[in-house]
Structure 1
Amino acid sequence: MTLPLLEATGLTRHYLMRRGLFGRPVEVRAVNGVSLALERGRTLGLVGESGCGKSTTGRLVLGLERPDAGGVAFEGQPMPPPGTPAWRALRARMQMVFQDPLGALDRRMSIGAQIAEPLEIHRIGDRPERVAQLLRDVGLRPDQAGRYPHELSGGQRQRAVLARALATEPALLVCDEPISALDVSIQAQVMNLLVELQARLSTAILFVSHDLRAVRQVSHRVAVMYLGRIVEEGEPDAVLHDPAHPYAQALVSAIPHPGRRQRRVLLQGDPPNPADRPSGCAFHPRCPAALPLCAQEDPVLKPRPGDGRRVACHVAQGDLPARKAA
């Protein structure tokens, strides 16, 4: 059996947050026991509401943040501690594409200089020709290397960020909401570019997004997060056409389908405060199919027989028969 390129096990990251100006600090579980695996040349889409822990998970798998518990293995080897020489050397093989391309670029440096920077850091030669080729790879012209970020459009800036991330030929890309700040037409161009580059370079991609339509287009597997945990994970056709977890059902029902009527699943109440997590399943106060067991016992993410997906739900796993909501 081939080892996955990236494997995260039980990742946990907590923060201390103060309630009010003089309140006592309380613990917020941003990521709470996340496990995932990603193979070469494959894309895992990580979806969920804002604040569910998607971006923190992306930073944890790259070692940009240190987990409180759990660990990450890259090519079968444990991730070196952040900041060490071994970790810096490994970072050449793992890169991140940020949400805001203008914020990710230095406005005082030309695009070409910023693409060349990782080549200089990791001592990769032939820089001028390499920069020109990278610009061509992402659909920009080599003569645009001398331009500054404010002289490019939003789509061109995101292509420049992608060119910089690809400079060291990474085996893994973590894309954190890479299209959310772009126009719809430019979003399609960037997603098509990611698919083309992956096919050519066999790069593994962790695609973090709240846009289920984008995730469906680029992903080989999809993982749905809620309040710091993965609640469902499987093939896109299974998760996005016939979701098993009630939260995933609500997410999918919100995707508009022109010309087709569909039943919208409306959730009651607001997402719970991460600093005051409900007992048992964190979703049970909003779940239309909740059982008494759901308030008492947190379901484990485990394989569901027959369809190749993992689900953390007592009802979907058949622990007890579901009852209709009143």
Structure 2
Amino acid sequence: MNRPVLQARAVVRHYSPMRSGVFSRARTIRAVDGVSIDLRRGETIGLVGESGSGKSTVGRLLLGLEPANAGQVLFEGKPLAKMDSAAWRHSRARMQMVYQDPLAALDRRLTVHQQIEEPLIIHRLGDTHARRVRARELLDAVGLQSHHDERYPHELSGGQRQRVVLARALATNPDVLVCDEPISALDVSIQAQIINLLVALQQKLGIAILFISHDLRAVRQIASRIAVMYLGHIVEEAPTADVLFHPLHPYAQALVSAVPDHRGLRRDRIVLKGEPPSPANRPRGCAFHPRCPLVVDVCSQHSPVLREVGPGKRVACHRLDGVKAVDHRQIEVG
């Protein structure tokens, strides 16, 4: 059986109390509130949800870039070492991040080949000649030509920069890639190229990918499973087709219904009332209950447990028995 390479076990990340005014009561920001997820070799999980749902924080927790207030992150079955320790730096060579803004992720003072070689220098991998050969191999792997290696980031297009970011992330032969909105800053025509590149590289290298995005159309192209987040919680997790065509949680249903088809916005779109609550003022009980069309008394009193409802399918909702499965097979997500 393909065991998880990276696991989160009820991880929690709260930020220091903040005040909205001089006389207001300090409130803790509950960015991630008990998330559990397994990532296996060769698979991609799409982590989706509205802005502020905690997706990016989950990615940083999995890489050990932020400490968890509670819960545990396991890498190959062992607890992730403390940040900045020798063991953590060793594991970080095998877990890399692909950031949203490629220009911000690159050092504008370094050439392309210097950017790609830098992780090898940091982790003391290979000599000068071996690192230069590795950089050229990676340029070819991500679809760039040899003449790009002497260019600076500002001399490249957005798509070329993201390819450099990807080559840099692959330099140390990682087992895990966390891609945080890796295509949102790119033109639509370039987005498809980067997704196709990620798919091809994963098939060749067997990397596990956590693909964080708000774009379900992009997620469909790359993810084998989707986890839907709302206000620090995973509310539904299932194979991609199940989430896109037969979502069960009312929030997942609304999220999928908002994806336009070839005619534009769908007539059967589910429009949620209100705005997502602040992580600093989370509602009691189910966080989604102030906006849920199926809310009952228990929803405002108790937080639902994420439980198995079918093979590989987990949902957190008190009203599962009353939820009508929505068939979205006509949605053109691709």
Per the shorter chain, which TM-score range?
A: over 0.9
Quote the Cα distance in structure 1 between the aligned partners of 2:41 and 2:3. 10
Q: In the superposition, relative to structure 1, how do residues 135 and 68 fare at CA in structure 2: closer, same or farther (>3 Å)?
A: same
Quote the Cα distance in structure 2 between the aligned partners of 1:61 and 1:137. 26
Q: Which residue of 2 aligns with 1:217?
A: 221
Could you say what secondary structure the match of 2:34 adopts?
strand
Q: Which residue of 1 aligns with 2:200?
A: 196
Cα deviation per residue 1:16-50 (whole Å; 9 max; x = unaligned)? 24223534431010000000001100000000000
* Match of residue 173, structure 2, among 166, 169, 174: 169
Quote the Cα distance in structure 2 between the aligned partners of 1:247 and 1:187. 26
Q: Which residue of 2 aligns with 1:104?
A: 105
Q: Which residue of 2 aligns with 1:264?
A: 269
Does the 8 Å contact 1:7/1:73 carry over to 2?
yes
Q: Which residue of 2 aligns with 1:74?
A: 75
Quote the Cα distance in structure 2 between the aligned partners of 1:162 and 1:308. 30
Does the 8 Å contact 1:30/1:53 carry over to 2?
yes
Q: Which residue of 1 aligns with 2:137?
A: 133
Does the 8 Å contact 1:112/1:131 carry over to 2?
yes
Could you say what secondary structure the match of 1:233 adopts?
strand
Q: In the superposition, relative to structure 1, how do residues 259 and 18 fare at CA in structure 2: closer, same or farther (>3 Å)?
A: closer
Q: Letter of the 2:46 partner, please give it.
A: G
Could you say what secondary structure the match of 2:285 adopts?
coil
Quote the Cα distance in structure 1 between the aligned partners of 2:173 and 2:279. 37
TM superposition shift of 1:308: 3.0
TM superposition shift of 1:124: 1.7
1:34-113 correspondence runs (5 A): 34-113=35-114
Quote the Cα distance in structure 1 between the aligned partners of 2:323 and 2:163. 48
Quote the Cα distance in structure 1 between the aligned partners of 2:82 and 2:319. 40
Quote the Cα distance in structure 1 between the aligned partners of 2:25 and 2:151. 49
Q: In the superposition, relative to structure 1, how do residues 143 and 212 fare at CA in structure 2: closer, same or farther (>3 Å)?
A: same
Could you say what secondary structure the match of 1:216 adopts?
helix
Quote the Cα distance in structure 1 between the aligned partners of 2:194 and 2:2. 30
Does the 8 Å contact 2:18/2:29 carry over to 1?
no
Q: Does 1:151 align with 2:152?
A: no
Q: Does 1:287 align with 2:292?
A: yes
Could you say what secondary structure the match of 2:107 adopts?
coil
If the length of structure 2 is used for normalisation, what is the TM-score? 0.93
Could you say what secondary structure the match of 1:274 adopts?
coil
Of 257-266 and 243-252, deviating more is 257-266
TM superposition shift of 1:88: 0.3
Q: Does 1:302 align with 2:303?
A: no
Quote the Cα distance in structure 2 between the aligned partners of 1:207 and 1:322. 28
If the length of structure 1 is used for normalisation, what is the TM-score? 0.95
TM superposition shift of 1:15: 0.7
Could you say what secondary structure the match of 1:99 adopts?
coil
Q: Letter of the 1:25 partner, please give it.
A: A
Q: Which residue of 2 aligns with 1:242?
A: 246
Quote the Cα distance in structure 2 between the aligned partners of 1:39 and 1:76. 12
Quote the Cα distance in structure 1 between the aligned partners of 2:281 and 2:104. 33
Cα deviation per residue 1:44-76 (whole Å; 9 max; x = unaligned)? 000000010000000000000000001111111
TM superposition shift of 1:312: 0.2
Q: Which residue of 2 aligns with 1:15?
A: 15
Quote the Cα distance in structure 1 between the aligned partners of 2:79 and 2:299. 35
Of 148-157 and 268-277, deviating more is 268-277
Quote the Cα distance in structure 2 between the aligned partners of 1:262 and 1:255. 11
Q: Which residue of 1 aligns with 2:330?
A: none
TM superposition shift of 1:121: 1.3
Quote the Cα distance in structure 1 between the aligned partners of 2:26 and 2:120. 43
Of 161-170 and 69-78, deviating more is 69-78
Of 34-43 and 71-80, deviating more is 71-80
Cα deviation per residue 1:161-206 (whole Å; 9 max; x = unaligned)? 0000000010000000000000000000000000000000000000
TM superposition shift of 1:274: 1.2
Unaligned runs of at least 5 residues, structure 2? 325-334
Unaligned runs of at least 5 residues, structure 1? none
